[in-house]
Structure 1
Amino acid sequence: MRISEIFLSLQGEGIYQGKACTFIRLAGCNLSCTWCDTRYACSKGEEMTTEQVLERVSAEDCSLVCITGGEPLLQQDQIIPLLKALWDRGYTVGIETNGTIDFSASEEYASICMDVKCPSSGEASDLSLLDRIRITDSVKFVVKDQQDCAYAESVIRGHPIKGTIFFSPVFGSEYSTLASFVLARHLPVTFQMQLHKIIGVK
């Protein structure tokens, strides 16, 4: 599989925010979001075997693993053996995906965080995948402005979502305006800043 990087940090967002986590960032993406903060992960990356990745993860001595990208599910056939191996070894695994690829094959071994693309991203997710979100999964809307918030609200109202729903402001946007939208509309979401950016870690 093509790996951009493997590193230990604090999980900056989602249901495991604040916890130490080993990140496996896969290379390659099928989208080009305007505010993407990991464009370097779209490059070719390093070919690594499942065994090599497991060795690197083991060296970090951390029980929580996040598989991200890029878009990791572009290599879903290759990461399934990795997911199973991590599961068998007792790791808690989460996958961050842009909501354009069916994640069914990965659900047995990992929780899913589906990033629903809002208008400011310039991209779109497959909203039919929201039907697959379980109570142990989550959905994230990266919002930059009120147009994004209004779009996210329409998705939330139109699709019963079983998992936790996050509003994650684009770094540097007007946070108070976005928070006011959530409060005024009584949205069933968790408003969550990107912790890793606030404290200045990778």
Structure 2
Amino acid sequence: MYKVNEVFETIQGEGSFTGAAAIFIRLQGCPVGCSWCDTKHTWDIKDELAMPLGDIVIKTAETEHWAQVTAAELLARFIQEGYQAKHVVITGGEPCMYDLNPLCELLHQNGYSTQIETSGTFTIKAPAQTWVTVSPKVNMAGGYKVLQSALDRANEIKHPVAMEKHVDELLQLLQHTDTKAKLIYLQPISQQRRATELAIAMCKKHNWRLSVQVHKYLGIS
């Protein structure tokens, strides 16, 4: 069973799948505690805010409401809603609080590709063909450590930056990580001009890539 805060179809606005049509599943629950998080409504799981999946799909505003559903129920909802995208992004909250194997395997069996967006602070339970985006969260309020196993599993590492210390944190994380087959992105926090300029400069210096949250520039979900 998965606690789902949102299900919607849009385009992926970050990382290597930028511009791809995608179905987003946003799961409820996250103890990591990022101060600049833009989905704080997904942090807490309050039993009294449970609601049917049908009501979750038609939500028009960010709320703490969630639905408890199975992988099969999610797949059926995709079909019922007429979603055409074949790439599914599982995000949160912190999606790796859940065992994502059953959901991803069912989606793969039905012609979908899957991607997980995680902080890297929980063990990743997903099939080998699932694309894993680790956005490492260092020294956050929840006190969770970024796991080396998550960095090793990542297909791409997408690090949020606002100041030089965030670049230093990434360099330290990468010391023991084989990055030859990985894509490394810097993502300016909140599209701040100073953060964007820093990210561009560091991408040039280290031959990394820039992720600019295209969906926020376009003003879409």
- Contact preservation (8 Å) 1:146, 1:178: no
- Equivalent residue number for residue 201 of structure 1: 220
Matches within 5 A, 1:20-31: 20-31=21-32
- Equivalent residue number for residue 147 of structure 1: 165
Q: Note the alpha carbon deviations across 1:144-178, whole angstroms, 9 max, x for none.
A: 11111122123334422231111111013211133
**What SS does structure 2 have at the residue aligned with 1:15?**
helix
User: Distance between the aligned counterparts of 2:176 and 2:130, measured in 1?
Assistant: 26
Structure 2: give runs of 5+ residues left out of the alignment: 46-65
User: Distance between the aligned counterparts of 2:21 and 2:161, measured in 1?
Assistant: 25
Amino acid at match of 1:151: E
- Equivalent residue number for residue 12 of structure 1: 13
User: Distance between the aligned counterparts of 2:97 and 2:190, measured in 1?
Assistant: 26
- Contact preservation (8 Å) 1:116, 1:139: yes
Normalised to the residue count of structure 2, the TM-score between the two structures is: 0.80
Amino acid at match of 1:65: V
Q: Does 1:111 align with 2:131?
A: yes
Instruction: Name the CA shift for 1:177/1:14 in 2 (closer, same or farther; >3 Å).
Output: closer
User: Distance between the aligned counterparts of 1:68 and 1:147, measured in 2?
Assistant: 26
- Equivalent residue number for residue 96 of structure 1: 117
Instruction: Name the CA shift for 1:188/1:107 in 2 (closer, same or farther; >3 Å).
Output: farther
User: Distance between the aligned counterparts of 1:63 and 1:83, measured in 2?
Assistant: 12
User: Distance between the aligned counterparts of 1:152 and 1:108, measured in 2?
Assistant: 24
Moved >3 Å (runs of 4+)? 121-124
- Give 1:128 deviation, angstroms: 4.1
- Contact preservation (8 Å) 2:202, 2:208: no
User: Distance between the aligned counterparts of 2:76 and 2:114, measured in 1?
Assistant: 16
- Give 1:57 deviation, angstroms: 2.1
- Contact preservation (8 Å) 1:29, 1:42: yes
- Equivalent residue number for residue 97 of structure 2: 74
Structure 1: give runs of 5+ residues left out of the alignment: none
Instruction: Name the CA shift for 1:155/1:43 in 2 (closer, same or farther; >3 Å).
Output: closer
User: Distance between the aligned counterparts of 1:107 and 1:32, measured in 2?
Assistant: 27
Amino acid at match of 1:170: I
User: Distance between the aligned counterparts of 2:75 and 2:17, measured in 1?
Assistant: 21
- Equivalent residue number for residue 57 of structure 2: none
Of 17-26 and 46-55, deviating more is 46-55
Q: Does 1:159 align with 2:183?
A: no
- Equivalent residue number for residue 50 of structure 2: none
**What SS does structure 2 have at the residue aligned with 1:47?**
strand
- Equivalent residue number for residue 49 of structure 2: none
Give aligned-pair identity as a percent: 27
User: Distance between the aligned counterparts of 1:189 and 1:168, measured in 2?
Assistant: 11
- Give 1:110 deviation, angstroms: 1.1
Count of residue pairs brought into register by the alignment: 193
**What SS does structure 2 have at the residue aligned with 1:116?**
coil
Amino acid at match of 1:200: G
- Give 1:89 deviation, angstroms: 0.6
User: Distance between the aligned counterparts of 1:115 and 1:107, measured in 2?
Assistant: 19
1:64 paired residue among 81, 84, 87? 87
- Contact preservation (8 Å) 2:29, 2:93: yes
